[in-house]
Structure 1
Amino acid sequence: MTKLLLVLHAHLPYVRHPEHPVFLEENWFFEGMIETYLPLLMMMDRLTGDHIPWGMTMTLSPPLLSMMEDPLLTERFGARLHLLTELSDREADRTRGGEYAGVAAFYQHRFHTLNRFWKEDLGGQILSGFRRHIQTGQLEAITCCATHGFLPLLSTTPESVKAQIRVGVSTHERILGVKPRGIWLAECGYFTGVDKILSEEGLQFFLMDTHGLLYANPFPQGEVYAPIKTPAGVYAFGRDPESSHLVWSAENGYPGDPLYRDFYRDIGYDLPYDLVAPYLHTDGPRGMTGLKYHRITGKTDQKEVYDPRLAKEKAGDHARDFMRRKEEQSRRLSSLANWSPTVVCPFDAELFGHWWFEGVDFIEGLFREATGSVVMTTPTKLLSGDFWVSDAQPEPSSWGVNGYNEVWINQTNDWIWPYLSEASREMTQAVRLWGKDPAFADVLAQMGRELLLAQSSDWPFLLTTGTAVEYAQYRISEHLFRFKTLRSMLENANVDRSIVEEYRGKSPLFPDLNPWVFA
Structure 2
Amino acid sequence: MKKGQLLIVLNAHLPFVRHPEFPSFLEENWLFEAISETYLPLLRTFHNLENKGIPFRMSLSFSPTLISMLTDSFLQDRYLKHLDLQLELGAKELERTKTQLEFHKLATLYTALYKQNKEDFSELYQGNLLKGFTYFMKKGHLEILSSAATHPLLPLYQDYPENIEAQIQTAVETHYRAFNRTPKGFWLPECAYYPGLDELLKKYKLEYFFTSAHGVLFSRDFPKNGVFAPLRTPQGLHAFARDLSSTNNIWSPEEGYPGDPVYRDFYRDIGFDLPMDYIGPYLQGGENRVNTGFKYYAVSGKTEKKSCYDPEKAKKKIEEHAENFIYNRLKQIEKLGSLMDGKKPLIVAPFDAELFGHFWYEGTAWLEVFWEKMSRTPELEAVTAGDYLLDSPVNQENELSFSTWATGGYAEVWLDGKNDWIIRHTHKCIQRMQELVDRFPNESGRKERALNQAAREVLLCQSSDWPLMIKMGTTVEYAQRRVKEHVNNFSRIYDSLSSNTLETEWLTKLERKNNLFPDLDYRVFKRHQPT
User: What TM-score range do you get, normalising by the shorter chain?
Assistant: over 0.9
- Asked if the contact 2:65–2:149 (Cα under 8 Å) also holds between the matched residues in 1, the reply is yes
- Asked if the contact 2:300–2:307 (Cα under 8 Å) also holds between the matched residues in 1, the reply is yes
- Give SS of 1:100's match: helix
- Within 2, Cα distance between the matches of 1:252 and 1:218? 33
- Asked if the contact 2:230–2:240 (Cα under 8 Å) also holds between the matched residues in 1, the reply is yes
- Give SS of 1:375's match: strand
CA RMSD of aligned residues (A): 1.3
- AA partner of residue 497 (structure 1): T
- Give SS of 1:268's match: helix
Structure 1: which 5+ runs fail to align? Answer: none
- Within 2, Cα distance between the matches of 1:443 and 1:123? 33
- Asked if the contact 1:339–1:388 (Cα under 8 Å) also holds between the matched residues in 2, the reply is no
- Within 1, Cα distance between the matches of 2:92 and 2:7? 42
Deviation of the 1:11 alpha carbon = 0.5
Deviation of the 1:387 alpha carbon = 5.7
Query: What aligned pairs does 1:214-233 form with structure 2 within 5 A after superposition?
Result: 214-233=217-236
Asked if residue 479 in structure 1 is aligned to residue 482 in structure 2, the reply is: no
Counterpart position of 1:93: 95
Asked if residue 437 in structure 1 is aligned to residue 436 in structure 2, the reply is: no
Q: String of CA shifts for 1:347-394, please: whole Å, max 9, x gaps.
A: 111111111111111111221111111111211121122366211101
- Within 1, Cα distance between the matches of 2:494 and 2:409? 37
Query: Which 4+ residue blocks in structure 1 deviate beyond 6 angstroms?
Result: none
- Asked if the contact 2:215–2:402 (Cα under 8 Å) also holds between the matched residues in 1, the reply is yes
Asked if residue 506 in structure 1 is aligned to residue 513 in structure 2, the reply is: yes
Residue 197 of structure 2: which of 194, 199, 213 is its match? Answer: 194
- Within 2, Cα distance between the matches of 1:46 and 1:429? 53
Counterpart position of 2:352: 348
- Give SS of 1:363's match: helix
Counterpart position of 1:161: 164
- AA partner of residue 350 (structure 1): E
Cα 1:379–1:244 shift into 2, 3 Å:
same
Counterpart position of 1:274: 277
Deviation of the 1:170 alpha carbon = 1.0
Q: Which moved more, 1:502-511 or 1:42-51?
A: 42-51
- Within 2, Cα distance between the matches of 1:320 and 1:120? 36
Q: String of CA shifts for 1:323-353, please: whole Å, max 9, x gaps.
A: 1111121222223344211100011111111
Deviation of the 1:82 alpha carbon = 2.1
TM-score using structure 1 length:
0.98
- Asked if the contact 1:330–1:373 (Cα under 8 Å) also holds between the matched residues in 2, the reply is no
Residue 422 of structure 1: which of 419, 428, 431 is its match? Answer: 428
Residue 30 of structure 1: which of 29, 32, 40 is its match? Answer: 32
- Give SS of 1:344's match: strand
Q: String of CA shifts for 1:31-62, please: whole Å, max 9, x gaps.
A: 11111111111111111121110011111100
- Asked if the contact 2:466–2:483 (Cα under 8 Å) also holds between the matched residues in 1, the reply is yes
Residue 475 of structure 2: which of 468, 474, 477 is its match? Answer: 468
- Asked if the contact 1:222–1:389 (Cα under 8 Å) also holds between the matched residues in 2, the reply is no
- Within 1, Cα distance between the matches of 2:357 and 2:290? 18
Counterpart position of 1:497: 504
Query: What aligned pairs does 1:116-155 form with structure 2 within 5 A after superposition?
Result: 116-155=119-158
Residue 400 of structure 2: which of 373, 394, 405 is its match? Answer: 394
TM-score using structure 2 length:
0.95
Residue 380 of structure 1: which of 386, 390, 402 is its match? Answer: 386
Percent identity (aligned)? 41
Counterpart position of 1:41: 43
- AA partner of residue 147 (structure 1): T
- AA partner of residue 182 (structure 1): G
Deviation of the 1:418 alpha carbon = 1.1
Cα 1:477–1:486 shift into 2, 3 Å:
same
- Asked if the contact 2:211–2:242 (Cα under 8 Å) also holds between the matched residues in 1, the reply is yes
- Asked if the contact 2:263–2:298 (Cα under 8 Å) also holds between the matched residues in 1, the reply is yes
- AA partner of residue 426 (structure 1): R
Counterpart position of 1:410: 416
Query: What aligned pairs does 1:76-91 form with structure 2 within 5 A after superposition?
Result: 76-91=78-93
